[in-house]
Structure formats: structure tokens, C-alpha cells
């Protein structure tokens, strides 16, 4: 069975080839952030999620609904499962940097408001709460 190596394993192997032992190699903790930006109006981040694992990939044109995010601007939750705020993914980018002894992997997603028909896969009607 093939084994997939993580970036951390690859770095450790490269350091080992340079004479640096596993004991000397102190990896930084990884933090994954999903930064959601609403591109209508001011184009500013509206929500931030953090995880110890990467977020699933998103593609331009894909639907992305707010079912109750805590907004970064302090206005609280404006979407709900019964009345979601609907968006389309407009663009994505990745940013990697070190901060406070941690490696931060940001997945930034630009969202544009969407008011078109509901997906045929989910029916052209409002969701049942």
C-alpha cells in the first residue's frame, strides 16, 4: 500500500539528510484558517474558522451558504438553517506564514452574494427546517 507523506515528514527527511536529527527538529504546530470575505461593498473578511486539519477545497462558482456564522464585525449571526445567506465562490487564494511559533495556512475565499434559483439537486424550494 502506498503511503502519503505529510509536509512535516518530508521536511524531517530533508533535515535528516543534512545531519539534523529528529530530536533536534522541533516542528511548529499547524493552524489552518478558513477566511471568508464578502466581496459586495467593502470586500472585507466576514467570518474566520480555525482547525488543526486542512479545510476541504472549494472551486469558483460553487455555492457556499451561511447557516449561522458569527460575523467578525460583531453583528452576530445573520444567516440560519431556515433562512441561509447564499453565496457563490468568486475566487480563492492560499497564504502561508509563521506567527507566534505556529505555521498558519490560510485559505481565503471571496464570496459574492447569490440570489438565483436553488440547486436542482436540493429542489427549487426553500429548505425544510
Give tens-digit pLDDT for 88-126: 999 999 999 999 888 999 999 999 999 887 766 655 566
Give the structural domain span for 98.
33-113
Query: Looking up cell 466581496, which residue turns up?
Result: 39
Q: What is the pTM of this model?
A: 0.71
pLDDT digits (tens, 9 = 90+) for 6-63: 566 556 666 566 666 666 666 778 999 999 999 987 778 999 999 999 999 999 999 9
- Pick from 107, 102, 110: which is nearest to 43 by CA? 110
- Pick from 103, 99, 46, 33: which is nearest to 74 by CA? 46
Number of domains the chain is built from: 1
What pLDDT score was predicted for residue 1?
46
Residue 46 lies in a domain: yes
Residue 57 lies in a domain: yes
Residue 84 lies in a domain: yes
What pLDDT score was predicted for residue 123?
57
Residue 107 lies in a domain: yes
Residue 103 lies in a domain: yes
Residue 2 lies in a domain: no
Amino acid at each position: 500500500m502506498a503511503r502519503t507523506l505529510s509536509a512535516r515528514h518530508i521536511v524531517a527527511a530533508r533535515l535528516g539528510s543534512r545531519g539534523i536529527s529528529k530530536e533536534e527538529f522541533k516542528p511548529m504546530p499547524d493552524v489552518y484558517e478558513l477566511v471568508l470575505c464578502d466581496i459586495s461593498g467593502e470586500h472585507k473578511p466576514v467570518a474566520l474558522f480555525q482547525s488543526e486539519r486542512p479545510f476541504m477545497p472549494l472551486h469558483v462558482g460553487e455555492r457556499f451558504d451561511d447557516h449561522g456564522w458569527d460575523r467578525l464585525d460583531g453583528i452576530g449571526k445573520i444567516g440560519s438553517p431556515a433562512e441561509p445567506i447564499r453565496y457563490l465562490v468568486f475566487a480563492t487564494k492560499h497564504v502561508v506564514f509563521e506567527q507566534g511559533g505556529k505555521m498558519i495556512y490560510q485559505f481565503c475565499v471571496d464570496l459574492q452574494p447569490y440570489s438565483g434559483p436553488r440547486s436542482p439537486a436540493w429542489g427549487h424550494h426553500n429548505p425544510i427546517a
